[in-house]
Amino acid sequence: MSKVVVLGGSGGIGSVAVRALAALEAFDEIVVADLRLEAAEELARQVGSRARAEALDVTSPASLDQAMRGASVVLNCVGPFYRFGPPILRAAIEAGVDYVDVCDDLAPTRLMLELDGEAKRRGVTALVGMGNSPGLANVFVKLCRDLLLDVVETVDIMHIHGGEPTEGHAVLAHRIHAMLNDVPLFLDGQFVHVRQLEESGRAHVREADFRHVGRFPVYPYPHPETITLPTFLPGLRRATNLGVIFPLSYFHLTQEMVRVGACGEEPLEVNGQRVVPIDFSIAHILSQRARLLREAGITGPAGCLRVECGGTKDGRAHRFVFQLSSAGAGAGEGTGIPAAVGAALVGMGAITEHGVLAPEACVSPLQVFELAMKAAKKLGMGGNDSVQIESIDADGTVTVVPLSFG
């Protein structure tokens, strides 16, 4: 009996992953493990007989050990990953259980990659960053390296999403964390560190056209692709990651709260009460969200991942541009579906390597896209029109690559 345990399974990303896993039918049992047991039970009931709920407190080693017991694969959807990523991976390695996560945070990715040796010794496969960006972005780069280009020299990853009905505290905390910390960009074969809200970061802001979403400015983001891609792709000269949230008024409000210093973690005394600035800022930003969505005329979620790969093909300069767009679906779907695909591939034995691995190191791109489109269609999302790959030759001629998945 194969069993996948989805940690944080009733959350925004975890719940999509649970539904996608059920659609893929890759496991005999799906465990929805969450601190909110009632929500987990309701999701398991909706998914059907393959699923069951289990109470989980990831801060408790005993609870975590119990959840992992007998699992074939653990899919970690618990954020923020700078707090929970490394300790949960360590627990999986100690339990000898294969592991997949959707970590899009730089610092914990570095820490988890340092566990590679221990994972190899225990015979554990740990696929980290198997979401959208990172995740599908890396997979497309691997597709270019394996099938489309002779040499991949540049990778520019851009992403946008927004309009989700709600947004959690952890999601916004992660976004603020990204604005406060260094962003590594791999430029001309060397790492350069910038900050999103400082001049060093503003120099790299650019406009991007997102299919079915629109044209938006994108800002440096500390996502892990900029450190993993140079490791696994010899010859790479540039790797950047830029992103934004819509409506821009909501994203800019978050930037301003950071810029004015209202996101510190040291408590302040306010009228006899001790207040942590970042807690106030997150509460304030979230309180304004509905108004800003309404004023911008946003009526539903959408998103798009854009990846530009440049290099050489038959001795001449060539580029490929990949876009995965969604209407009516946001970050949960864009991240949860590839996460489920990653867990399914590990559970099926399609990834044979042991150790801590980024997607570009170990997955089959065609398998990933085929399973992702299959899950999306079964869940009533996406379709072949959601994926577009453009080929741009040295003369600037653009050709749409005819691809069909699922």
Domains of the chain: 3-131+332-369 (3.40.50.720), 136-247+285-330+384-392 (3.30.360.10), 248-284 (no CATH)
* pLDDT score for 73: 98
Average pLDDT, the chain: 94
Please, are residues 80 and 91 in contact by the beta-carbon 8 Å criterion? no
Model confidence band, residue 406 (pLDDT cutoffs 50, 70, 90) = very low
Residue 257: φ, ψ to 5°: -65, -35
Query: What is the mean pLDDT of the segment spanning 247-266?
Result: 97
Residues 226, 77: Cα–Cα separation, whole Å? 22
Please, are residues 371 and 294 in contact by the beta-carbon 8 Å criterion? no
3-state helix, strand, coil in the chain (%, to 5): 40, 30, 30
In the predicted structure, residue 391 carries a pLDDT above the cut 50: yes
Residue 16, both tokens: 């999509």
Instruction: For residue 125, give the nearest of 166, 71, 81, 162 by alpha carbon.
Output: 71
pLDDT tens digits for 268-310? 999 999 999 999 999 999 999 999 999 999 999 999 999 999 9
* pLDDT score for 219: 98
Please, are residues 157 and 137 in contact by the beta-carbon 8 Å criterion? yes
**Pairing mode, if any, of strands 387-392 and 316-327?**
antiparallel
SS (H, E, C) 80-99: CHHHHHHHHHHHHHHHCCEE
* pLDDT score for 268: 96
Instruction: For residue 228, give the nearest of 258, 184, 269 by alpha carbon.
Output: 184
Residues 6+ apart with CB under 8 A from 145: 152, 233, 360
* pLDDT score for 380: 84
pTM for this predicted structure? 0.92
In the predicted structure, residue 184 carries a pLDDT above the cut 90: yes
Q: Is 268 left (phi over 0), alpha (psi -120 to 50) or beta?
A: beta
Instruction: For residue 74, give the nearest of 88, 53, 58 by alpha carbon.
Output: 88
Query: What is the mean pLDDT of the segment spanning 75-83?
Result: 91
Model confidence band, residue 382 (pLDDT cutoffs 50, 70, 90) = low
Residue 93, both tokens: 């390695």
Residues 137, 363: Cα–Cα separation, whole Å? 12
Please, are residues 127 and 153 in contact by the beta-carbon 8 Å criterion? no
Query: What is the mean pLDDT of the segment spanning 309-326?
Result: 95
Model confidence band, residue 211 (pLDDT cutoffs 50, 70, 90) = very high
To which residue do tokens 């170990």 refer? Answer: 362
CA dihedral sign of residues 2, 368, 154, 202: negative
CA 92 to chain centre: 20
Q: Give 330 or 23, the one with higher predicted confidence.
A: 23
Residue 267, both tokens: 């408590």
One-letter amino acid at 189 equals G
Query: What is the mean pLDDT of the segment spanning 81-100?
Result: 96
Q: Give 364 or 384, the one with higher predicted confidence.
A: 364
Please, are residues 143 and 136 in contact by the beta-carbon 8 Å criterion? no
Helix residue ranges per DSSP H, 181-306: 199-202, 225-232, 248-259, 277-295
Q: Is 235 left (phi over 0), alpha (psi -120 to 50) or beta?
A: left
In the predicted structure, residue 311 carries a pLDDT above the cut 80: yes
* pLDDT score for 234: 85
Model confidence band, residue 46 (pLDDT cutoffs 50, 70, 90) = very high
In the predicted structure, residue 122 carries a pLDDT above the cut 90: yes
CA atoms within 13 A on the CB side of 83: 11
Q: Is 364 left (phi over 0), alpha (psi -120 to 50) or beta?
A: beta
* pLDDT score for 328: 67
